[in-house]
Chain A
């Protein structure tokens, strides 16, 4: 099967800092891939390069057949990036809901403004997705009135309503109080079960172990390990992976 996401020879520099070092990566359709690693290992940057929130320094990104080179210029290149963004939904650590719009307003904003979908159709789709994250009853509330967990579930519904091919999660539970993490992870499990391709940057080892098809461990801008969770968690090869897993096992963050 052809991969739905292909990262080829990707490099990213922040000034002189080489945060992504020649990474190549394939993700198959319906695969759930968790990216773990210490902070500063480049996992978020890698994720953000896929929808060009960060411009890669070199290499290329392919999403669902669209190939975008890092050094493209001009209208065609911008159009390609735009198309890639339409195929990828993104969920942020800080939710980033639009505070001046209601929950429903947040969820229909993309389809209506970006895709030009008619309002009624967008609302129907939005309500369906809000229902599946369990928050249809909050549709007329403003984000300020929601808990962190609820905000993140709305953010997931917002991304899903764009009907992406791939979902990118950038530490979706890291800003949440511990008791609110579960509800977000449950929604994510549901999305995975529905067959969505997912790339998840996370510190939730339990989630990685239970839901991921593959776990990538990042360290110093490289993928240092790429394995099934069962293998990775029982027999880590790299000492850095072992240290990482041990730290979470003992409850440290």
Chain B
């Protein structure tokens, strides 16, 4: 057999290289601009006067002293988010299955729940659990109230994602399982759900990331010591709201960047997987 070695690059190689060069240039351009915008942002808060342009002076002493106090709220923020998303996933799944039901009461309960939750503000729902329920003799801790409200709220929205994921599994799959003799439950558990969940993972990741920020609303109860609660506490006490909120914003942003990084990798892996 003859082996062909090509010392010169083929036309295809050159085209691919040109394309990669273009892509790299784009990425570098984006990266550089991000860096520049970040520098501008930092500069705006640097307190220096450049060319007669006066920037904002921050109380760095206050920031140094309260950095850990606010940062420690991340643990609570993540805890609320993880508990709430777990509840939300469970509710969303049940609701999505309920919406596929041909039994009227189950279908009705599902749609009723989604309609009620989507028809009212999340902020109101949190207050409802924390402030309104005690009037009925149900006293919940801030954390429990927050998790219930966030879970119920996200569950309603996520049920749409799950419903789409479930209906993305072709009817041929159900028929094949049925023809093998599987019961509806077995079909759901062994055939439909595994495929639907895979489809639902990327949007679920998005919801989780967005929930880490919505969890800040739970600060309103005054009893959950997450990032925003801590920031407003020290900010108000010492009239350093600007610094405190800026730090909180940075913490949220930083956390989001990290979560987004993992989300992107997860999506890439799922896209590569067998389908």
Contacts and interface: CB of A to CB of B under 8 A. Distances in A.
B14 interface: no
A162 B194 contact: no
Nearest to B182: A114
Interface band, chain A? 20 to 34
Interface residues of B, number: 20
Interface in B179-202: 179-183, 186, 190-191, 194-195, 198
B269 interface: no
B260 interface: no
B13 interface: no
B9 interface: no
Given A85-B180, A109-B180, A162-B180, A114 B186 contact: yes
B172 A162 contact: no
A145 B275 CA distance: 9
Nearest to A158: B180
A99 B195 contact: yes
Interface stretch (A34-42, A88-96, A182-190, A196-204): A88-96
Contact of B172 (A94, A100, A110, A159): A94
Given A109-B190, A144-B274, A86 B179 contact: no
B175 A114 contact: no
Contacts of A92: 172, 175-176, 179
Given A96-B176, A100-B195, A109-B190, A82 B275 contact: no
30 contacts: A53-B175, A53-B178, A53-B179, A82-B183, A85-B178, A86-B181, A89-B179, A92-B172, A92-B175, A92-B176, A96-B175, A96-B176, A98-B173, A98-B176, A98-B177, A99-B274, A99-B275, A100-B194, A100-B195, A110-B182, A113-B180, A113-B186, A114-B182, A114-B186, A143-B274, A144-B275, A158-B180, A159-B179, A159-B180, A162-B180
Given A114-B182, A145-B274, 10 more contacts: A51-B179, A85-B178, A85-B181, A89-B179, A97-B176, A114-B181, A114-B186, A142-B274, A143-B274, A159-B180
